[in-house]
Each structure stands twice: as structure tokens, then as C-alpha cells.
Structure 1
Amino acid sequence: MAHWLVKSEPFKYSWEKFLQDKQTFWDGVRNYQARNNLREMKKGEEVFFYHSNEGMEIVGIAKVVKESYPDPTTDDERWLVVDLKPVKTLKKTVSLAQMKAEKRLQNLALVRQGRLSVCPVSDEEWEVILELSNKK
């Protein structure tokens, strides 16, 4: 199974709001590469939830509960959404600065393509980020 990372500005949609909602469709993606990543997401795959602009840190883990379908917020058929539900809040958030400083994460899409809102995360990168989230 693949792993992913989605980005949201906390003032638009925060992890706390996601926890309250218990599930959401991930809309508003208007970048073709990010859209293609949404298309690749499969039910049951895990997703890091990243607060962008404010905080700039991974705050939790979500799961794909419904695979891609047309974005209901637009009539433009090019755009897709997936349904996500929160799984758990990280014990300790992992900042962008920490990820950039970690040599094992030098190829992480979040580091290489900072503006991409939906990114793949390799199994090794996933484990490194979980390791960072468990450090004191």
C-alpha cells in the first residue's frame, strides 16, 4: 500500500476541524500533478495531514475511505476528490524544518516540491517521519 501527504492551511481546514467532522472529501485541488496523486489513492491507504503556511508541520494521520470521484464543488470534470477520515493525532508534530534537516528525507516530495498539495510518501519516508514524531 502507498502512503500520502495532504496539505491544508489551518485557517481553511485544520486537523482539529477534521477530527470534529470525523470524515471529509478532499476538495479544492487544482494542480494536475496533485490531482493525479488523488487518482492514485486507494481505499485503506494512510495519509499524513500537514498544516501548511501556519505551523508547517505534520500533525496527524488519516486514511482513505473512498477512492477518487468527481469534485462536487465544481462542474469542471477534470478535478477529483477522495474521502478521508482521521486515524490519529501524532504524539509530537514533525516540522518542515525537521524534515529538511533529516538526510533520509532529502527526496521527500514535500521537501522537493513544496507547493504540491497532495504528495506520495515512500515506505521508508513514512517510517522516518513516524520515528521523528516519537522522539522526545
Structure 2
Amino acid sequence: MPRAYWLMKSEPDELSIHDLQRLKIARWDGVRNYQARNFMRSMAPGDLFFFYHSSCPEPGIAGVARIEGEPYADPTALDPGSHYHDPKASAEKNPWTARDVGFVEAFAAVLPLATLRAQPGLEEMPLVQRGSRLSVMPVTEAQWQIVMGLARK
């Protein structure tokens, strides 16, 4: 089965590409949008994703990471001390998903959203669409190759 490609957003003060580089593997949690959660559930071990730094002074694609293992219930939904706590979730019925992710590569420089929007061939990428707010989204192989080319310049 061919590999799938994704983009996942994280605020760097929560988890940055450099944090993941240091940790090697980390839990990706806190996704509270059903469409984004469904994308996380459909990922396969070994799928690659662009690690996007969001809600920060320099938002953009900061590197590449890999999906490790199978999806599992997001423990932050059950933790009253977490800002991702969901009071409707229970141990028996937790609708939220977490994934373990592994470090692959940090780019030499973050690829800013403005650069991605201006790049021919990325017009259909959900990230560059106005109003696109999803934190997890699919990326086509063609889009993946274009972005990797930009990162290598």
C-alpha cells in the first residue's frame, strides 16, 4: 500500500520540531476537531507528515515527522488538569485520538505560509486555502514533492 502524506499543526510552545528531535518520539494529542481526528485515525504507521508550527511569530512548515504505531484514546481528554480536557469523555467512551510520532528531519529554515501560498502547484493544498483551520490534513504526493523541493533550496 502506498504511503500517505499529511500535515499536522502544533504550537511550538506545546511541541516543536526541535522538541521532537530531542525526544525522538512523542505523543500527538489535544486534537478536538472531528474531521482532524478522523484523519489521525486513518493514518498508517510509517506515514510521513509536515510538522507545521502554528500560532507563533514564524508560522510555517518546520520539518518532517513519521507516524509511529496505531491510534489510541487521547488521555488528555480525561485529565481535568489539561486544557484539552473533555468533560463529556470517559474511560469507557473517549471520542478523541492520540498518535505517537517520531522525528525525521528539521528543515534549515521554516517554510512560511506566504511562501507556500505563492508556490505554483500548491493552490489546492488545504493549508493555503483561505479559512482552512484544520490542525491535521492530507497532502498529495505532488504537493509533498513541491514542499520538499522548497525545503532543499
The TM-score normalised by the length of structure 2 is 0.83
1:87-121 residue CA offsets vs partner (Å, 9 max, x unmatched): 11123431111110012001111112531101110
Instruction: Report if the CA contact (8 A) 2:18-2:106 is conserved.
Output: no
Instruction: Report if the CA contact (8 A) 1:92-1:134 is conserved.
Output: no
Provide structure 2 residue ranges, at least 5 long, that are not aligned to the other structure: 79-88
The 5 Å alignment of 1:72-83 reads 72-75=75-78, 76=89, 77-83=94-100
Instruction: Report if the CA contact (8 A) 1:27-1:71 is conserved.
Output: yes
**Aligned mate of 1:46, from 39, 45, 48:** 48
> CA–CA distance in 2 between the matches of 1:93 and 1:134?
11
The TM-score normalised by the length of structure 1 is 0.93
CA RMSD of aligned residues (A): 1.2
Instruction: Report if the CA contact (8 A) 1:61-1:88 is conserved.
Output: yes
User: Which structure has the larger Rg over C-alpha atoms?
Assistant: 2
> CA–CA distance in 1 between the matches of 2:77 and 2:110?
33
> CA–CA distance in 2 between the matches of 1:21 and 1:114?
30
**One-letter amino acid of the structure 2 residue matched with residue 56 of structure 1:** P
Q: Which residue of 1 aligns with 2:132?
A: 114
Instruction: Report if the CA contact (8 A) 2:67-2:102 is conserved.
Output: yes
**Identity over aligned pairs, percent:** 40
1:30-54 residue CA offsets vs partner (Å, 9 max, x unmatched): 0011001101110011011010122
Q: What is the DSSP-based 3-state SS (H/G/I as helix, E as strand, rest coil) of the residue aligned with 1:106?
A: coil
Structure 1: which 4+ aligned runs deviate by more than 4 Å?
none
Provide structure 1 residue ranges, at least 5 long, that are not aligned to the other structure: none
Instruction: Report if the CA contact (8 A) 1:35-1:80 is conserved.
Output: yes
